[in-house]
Structure 1
Amino acid sequence: MKCLVFDVWGDFAHYRKFYTTSSPLTFSFPPRTAITGMIAAILGIDKNDYLKYFTKDQANISIRLMNPVKKSRISYNLIDTKTAKMMSKIQNRTQVTFEILKDCAYRIYFTHNNEGLYEKMKENLYNHKSYYTLSLGLSEYIANFKFVGELDLKEEHSEDYVYIDSIIPFEKEIPVEFEINCEYFKDTLPNEMNEDREVIEYKKVIYERNCKPIKCIANNFYSVGEGEKIVFL
């Protein structure tokens, strides 16, 4: 079994948490739903259609932090474009503080059961081609990407503790050994949406803020290439 591996990075990112309103907070990394949007942008699939191609029974996606999670805050002047026909005539502005991610870098692992879509993705990654401009959450946060390679993917099973490099689902049946000098965080993210853009699955995950692997008992995990171990979301 093969897996496409590529890195995505940018200066800033924002993935708005669904429960925040006037002062938007951000997830620490793109949820699976956002990653499918990135892949669709590279492939050139319309934003109104792409969700049906990336359901969990078709696509496997995993993500690894490549830079430590750093957050800051920026104030934006939001304008009401409905109150004036010309941008220069807009008078009403509302200042809103956004929480943003800084110096972001992520490694994406991707497989798909549609061979044509998979091969097109591999070709675009290899040639550094993207149909739409890639961004990290907001359109102004432009991203770059690099093809790491098409690597061997091997499913493994273990009842002993292993180090997992990717972000992992934090479920009761996955024991985690918390180690010193590590910073662990848990979050709940949207993991899958239907074609009406309604979230049909949320998933609790755990990650180490400084990109260190997590020692846990993950009964089902995958070895990628020569050493990385991941769990699909």
Structure 2
Amino acid sequence: MKVLAFDISSDYAHFRQPYSTTSSLTYAIPPRTAALGIVGAIVGIDSGGFGQSKHIAELEKANTKIGVRLMRKVEKTRFSINYSYTKADASTKNVQHIQVPVEMVKDPVYRFYVTADVKLLEKLEDMTINSECYYTPYLGISEFIAQVKYVGTYSAEVETADKIYTAVQMAKRTNLLFSNGQKIFMETHAASMNSERRVTKYVEVAYEEEGNPLKLRSVDPDSLVVKIFTETGEEAVMLW
């Protein structure tokens, strides 16, 4: 098995939590659906247009699995964004505006670990090595254009591990081992969507706020944990 790693960063990120109403709250790390969208943007898989997410099915058909690692401590900030009611009568300049407070992740850096069928992985490797993207990638909303930096392509083996460097999908039989000083958070993420952007699966995801690895007491047998062999040693990551 081969696993490709690349870093993605921006000044800000906003992955909107769907249950927030009067203010827009953000996830600290990109959900799997957002991560798949970024990979699709890099290699040029069309989503199908506004309100569509056809790229999800195509990437899943190619057996794409992704793990997300925090490379910088999570820091959040808030500011207001001006929105325009685009269905108003622009010809009379009677356009309504509203200011909405929005929560952002400040200076985010994430490392994506990706495995997929050979053809897709080779294309992703070629694009990231050459700092190319078919579509412009961004972190959550289009104003936060992202920079992509290739890290490496590594050999990997499917193994169990008691220390995971990526965020952890909390499947039924996966249990964390807590220790003093850790700041562990959990979020409910969309894991998959149909072509009309309706979520078909949610998962619970755990991460350590400062990007430290998570220790596990047990791992669900259906979870995919792989050990990758880098120039600096071995790292265990969870892909889904």
Report the TM-score, using the length of structure 1 for normalisation.
Answer: 0.92
Report if the CA contact (8 A) 1:188-1:202 is conserved. Answer: yes
In structure 2, the residue matched to 1:51 is 56
What is the CA-CA distance between 1:56 and the residue it aligns to?
7.3
Q: How do residues 137-152 of structure 1 correspond to structure 2 at under 5 angstroms? A: 137-152=140-155
Report if the CA contact (8 A) 2:40-2:59 is conserved. Answer: no
Cα-to-partner distance string for 1:90-132 (whole Å, 9 max, x where unaligned): 542111101111010101011112x322211111011110011
Measured in 1, the distance between the counterparts of 2:143 and 2:104 equals 12
Measured in 2, the distance between the counterparts of 1:166 and 1:63 equals 5
The worse-fitting range, judged by mean Cα deviation, of 124-133 and 54-63 is 54-63
Report if the CA contact (8 A) 2:62-2:116 is conserved. Answer: no
What is the CA-CA distance between 1:82 and the residue it aligns to?
2.0
Measured in 1, the distance between the counterparts of 2:27 and 2:65 equals 21
Residue 116 (structure 2) pairs with residue 112 (structure 1): yes
Question: How many pairs are equivalent?
Answer: 228
Report the TM-score, using the length of structure 2 for normalisation.
Answer: 0.89
Q: Secondary structure at the match of 2:25?
A: coil
Measured in 2, the distance between the counterparts of 1:120 and 1:89 equals 46
Q: How do residues 59-208 of structure 1 correspond to structure 2 at under 5 angstroms? A: 59-85=64-90, 89-113=93-117, 115-157=118-160, 162-208=162-208
What is the CA-CA distance between 1:169 and the residue it aligns to?
1.2
Measured in 2, the distance between the counterparts of 1:195 and 1:175 equals 33
Report if the CA contact (8 A) 1:80-1:90 is conserved. Answer: no
Change (3 A) 1:177 1:56: farther
Percent identity of paired positions between Structure 1 and Structure 2:
35
The worse-fitting range, judged by mean Cα deviation, of 43-52 and 55-64 is 55-64
Gaps of 5+ in 2: 49-53
In structure 2, the residue matched to 1:24 is 24
What is the CA-CA distance between 1:79 and the residue it aligns to?
1.1
Change (3 A) 1:232 1:89: same
Q: Which amino acid aligns with 1:190?
A: A
Measured in 1, the distance between the counterparts of 2:170 and 2:183 equals 15
